[in-house]
Amino acid sequence: DTEVTQTPKHLVMGMTNKKSLKCEQHMGHRAMYWYKQKAKKPPELMFVYSYEKLSINESVPSRFSPECPNSSLLNLHLHALQPEDSALYLCASSQEGRLAGAAEQYFGPGTRLTVT
Amino acid sequence: AQSVTQLDSHVSVSEGTPVLLRCNYSSSYSPSLFWYVQHPNKGLQLLLKYTSAATLVKGINGFEAEFKKSETSFHLTKPSAHMSDAAEYFCVVSDQSGGYQKVTFGIGTKLQVIP
């Protein structure tokens, strides 16, 4: 199974809502990532989890809160978002870098988020 | 610091003709290099990767890329374009930093295939 799944596919939320994005992989990967992608731009790294611990936070506003409940799941909790946060949110996973060398990342299909 | 430059933001080819998508990189270490493809409203799919083995790398769907250290290039090629190749292509450089991969994306090249 080389699939990364993300739910929901689409999400529309108001600026006062709280919602969560979910990501799951069953490849035994120990590194998981959240990216934000605006239209016609490359993905921008938001967070990296390595062995279920947050290892990188690329100065993301606190209205985005990641969580890694176990080695297969990654959540992104959203609260009080702004319209400019509307984007495609991509999850990815890879074998943990230090042990596996420069492993490729496997991406999910993304969640298309619209903040109204 | 590492960086990656995709030299063309948009490439247009006719179906059945060769494809060349250009990528140059800079890296302080021995880099790993990747090409990913993204179809509209989809996630990214790995086409191929270079990790210091053979310099000519073959990928999926007939794509290949050649690592040229002297030119710091990793250009993506395909002998004959197919309509289904129309998509956005990202060149990515990666190295080890603090126990995880530091990944830098190029800005992307949009490939248009004309029937």
Decide if pLDDT at B72 tops 80: yes
Which pLDDT value is given to residue B32? 87
Question: Which DSSP string corresponds to B41-98?
Answer: T--EEEEEEE-SS-SEEE-GGG-EEEEETTTTEEEEEESS--GGG-EEEEEEEEEEET
Residue of B nearest to A112 (CA): B41
Cα of B48 vs its chain's centroid, Å: 8
Among A10-19, A100-109, B40-49, B72-81, the least confident range: A100-109
Residue-averaged pLDDT of chain A: 90
CB contact under 8 Å between A103 and B98, yes or no, is no
Reported as a single tens digit per residue, the pLDDT across A36-64 is 999 989 999 999 898 899 988 888 999 99
The DSSP output letter for A100 is H
**CB pair distance less than 8 Å for B106 and A42:** yes
| Closest C-alpha to B1, from B106, B113, B104, B111 | B104
Q: Least CA distance to B100: which residue of chain A?
A: A97
Residue B98: what pLDDT? Answer: 61
* Nearest chain A Cα distance for residue B86, angstroms: 14
pLDDT in tens, A94-116: 887 554 446 788 999 999 999 99
